Each structure stands twice: as structure tokens, then as C-alpha cells.
Structure 1
Amino acid sequence: MSETMTIIKLGNPVLRQESQVIENIKDEKMQLLIDELLTTVITANGVGIAAPQIAQSYRLFIVASRPNARYPHAPEMQPTAMINPRIIAHSEEIVKDWEGCLSVPGIRGLVPRYQSITVEYSDRFGNLQQQELTGFVARIFQHEYDHLDGLVFLDRVENTQDLISEEEYQKIVK
């Protein structure tokens, strides 16, 4: 198993940078980075993590939806590395729901996101994938995608009234 990496927090300048495209996916360094992200997201009880969150400014993230203490109603899916991802289409429907972030501990926000998106990305073997994502998994993708452009979920919250503490969120979700 790979090493668990330190997750950087809001205020670290890497979180506000635009990430660079990965040219050589099969490079040993990139493969190790994918493994480190997979280990880190599981250890941290996250449902997704982007490379910038471990201070690596690359266009890479993991979507790893599964029920856990932070997201008890999350659907189960195989953790998936998504390299140089793009949103190529989206629904008109926008849904507001609660989000948190491993880089912004202790706070949740009601964030508007597209209900359904069509995405394209390279997998860890360099194969181009296209997928339609809906609901919670579409939300994870959009949240992690924002990290690649230097955004955090707080940038998407429409009103400060839509922010609550993790403690209060846990009372709602139980």
C-alpha cells in the first residue's frame, strides 16, 4: 500500500493555482501519485481527492464514492483515477446539496451543482474514458474538478447563510 500524504488546508497557495496537464500518464512518478491519492482518500474517509490537495498541482483526481461517517448515504463505487478530466456536457438542472472538503475541515456548505454531467478523462493506463455521472457522483466530480482550477466549494456557495459547522451537519445527516 502506498503512503498516506498530508492534505493541505485552505490558505496554502497550491489550492488556488490552476493545475498543469499531465503529459505522460504512464510515468512512474504519476503512477505513484495516483496510488498515494487512492491511499490518502480512503484513510481520510473522503469520497474524492484532487492532486492539488496534497500539494501536487496536476490535473488528476480520484472519485471514490462510498458510505462513510462523513457521507453515510453515498453510493458505492470503485475508486477511480481521472486524469486531465473535462466536462463535455451537463444538464440544465442544478441541485443544491451539502458539501465539505478535506482541505476545508469543520465547515459544510450548500453548493449548487449540475445534476448530471458527461465527462471525459484518461484512466491510469492512458485510455480515454467517457461517462455520464448523475447525483452525488456528479457532485464529487464537479467538486474535485474545481480544485484543478484553483477553486474550493466555498467559492460556489451563494450565501453565507448556506454555511454550517461539521457538527451541525452531522445532526442533520444522521
Structure 2
Amino acid sequence: MSSTDDDNHIEIPPLHYLGDKKLMKPQPLVTTQHLKSDEFQLKLKMLPKAMRKYGGIGIAAPQIGWWTRVFCFGIEGTNPRYPNASDLPLTIWINPAITWKSEETNWMWEGCLSVPVMRGWVERPAEVKLCGWNESGEEKEQHLKRLAARVAQHELDHLDGVLFPNRVPGKEFLVPQASIDARDGWAENWPSFGSCKTAMGELCDER
């Protein structure tokens, strides 16, 4: 069987959900020795496939039971969970860390594959500098803005055992997707001025 055939037959593990004791713990760093192993490289190929299978715009290794500090994100075309989001190139990060973040922030209705049918209104820095390794273990750094910065921070949270419900400013900012879909009937400026007017996949400068 060729390597291409192997890639097409990669088994994708099931998702882990909010409350899972391992998902809610910080994950260990990847070592150089581990990165070079065939098992690790196979899982790196599997991770974007899992993201696409489950319909995410990003996914962290712990969400599929791979207990290590790796995530990927990317948007190709239209994602039904974030229909207003623009394209993002697929990138994989190993041992990622934020080295700088802007004082400027923005807000977004975040969702998560590990917290199905829920959305949270979350504030995060608008720009970050992210460093880490690529698939070959080479160091890289990127200055990420807007949606790319947002998704990277969300996925990095997963590697520290943090999920977006921990980030909302109050219980009224954590709502079911069905409520989001029925926003035309919301009370005026509920739950806040910015949140009630912001579509899925869009960023807002106001709470």
C-alpha cells in the first residue's frame, strides 16, 4: 500500500467533550524524539482530516484523545458553523506559545466541537504573535490578526485545559445554538449591544 493509500485510510478518533478529565488538563510538550516518530507524523496527517470530518475551523489534539500540545486550523470555502468567516490557510502548530498580544480586543460568538450546540460571547486580543514548531520540528513565528488570532487563542486554550465556557463574562453570554438561530426575537440589546448584532464567524469591537 502506498503512503497516499495509507493517508486515505487514517482512522479518525471520536471527539472528547466538556467535562472529560483529560481534556480539561494542561497537555505535555512534544519532544524532538517524539516528533520524529512514525506514529507522531501519522497523527499529524490525521489531525486536519479530523477537523474537516467534524466540521471545525480548528481542532486541538486533546479533542480527539491525542494528549499533546498540537493544534491546527484553517477554513477552505464556506464552513456552515461559521458562514461569515473568510478563508484561512491550513496551518499546524506544535508546542505553540503566544509571545505577544495586543491591548486591542474584539468579541465573537465562539463554538467548539467539544461543546456541541452551544455558543459563547468571548473577548480576546485582536492580534497575537505565535511561536512554535512546524511539522518538521523547525521553529516558526507568525503575527496573527483578527480571525486567525482568535482561532489560535481558542485552540491554545485547549492545550491548557481551558474551554470557551470559562471565557464568557457571565452566564447570559453562554447560549444554545437554537437561541442564536432565533436572534430576531431577542430582547433589545440582549445579552449585550455587540453580541445581539454579530453574525456567526464575524468579529465585533464592542461587547
TM-score if structure 2 supplies the norm length?
Answer: 0.80
Tell me, yes or no, if structure 1 residue 128 matches structure 2 residue 136. no
Superposed, 1:16-27 pairs within 5 Å as 16-24=24-32, 25-27=35-37
Superposed, 1:134-173 pairs within 5 Å as 134-171=145-182, 173=199
Superposed, 1:68-87 pairs within 5 Å as 68-87=79-98
**RMSD across aligned positions (CA):** 1.4
Distance 2:98 2:85 in 1: 22
Distance 2:123 2:138 in 1: 31
Residue number in structure 2 paired with 1:49: 59
Distance 1:96 1:104 in 2: 18
Distance 1:170 1:76 in 2: 23
Provide the secondary structure at the position in 2 that maps to 1:83: strand
Distance 2:75 2:147 in 1: 8
- 8 Å contact 2:56–2:113 — kept in the other structure? yes
Residue number in structure 1 paired with 2:205: none
CA offset digits 1:118-152 (Å, max 9, x no partner) = 11011101111110111111110000000011100
Residue number in structure 2 paired with 1:7: 15
Provide the secondary structure at the position in 2 that maps to 1:87: strand
Deviation at 1:169, TM superposition (A): 2.4
Aligned positions, number:
174
Distance 2:101 2:91 in 1: 20
Q: Please, which of 30, 35, 58 is the counterpart of residue 45 of structure 2?
A: 35
User: Please, which moves more after superposition, 41-50 or 19-28?
Assistant: 19-28
4+ aligned runs moved over 4 Å, structure 1: none
Consecutive unaligned residues in structure 2, runs of 5 or more: 1-7, 184-198, 201-207
- 8 Å contact 1:26–1:124 — kept in the other structure? no
What letter is aligned with 2:137? G
- 8 Å contact 2:120–2:164 — kept in the other structure? yes
Pick the structure with greater CA Rg: 2
What letter is aligned with 1:12? D
Residue number in structure 2 paired with 1:97: 108
- 8 Å contact 2:13–2:65 — kept in the other structure? no
CA offset digits 1:76-121 (Å, max 9, x no partner) = 1232110000100010011121100000001000011110001101
- Identical counterparts, % of pairs: 34
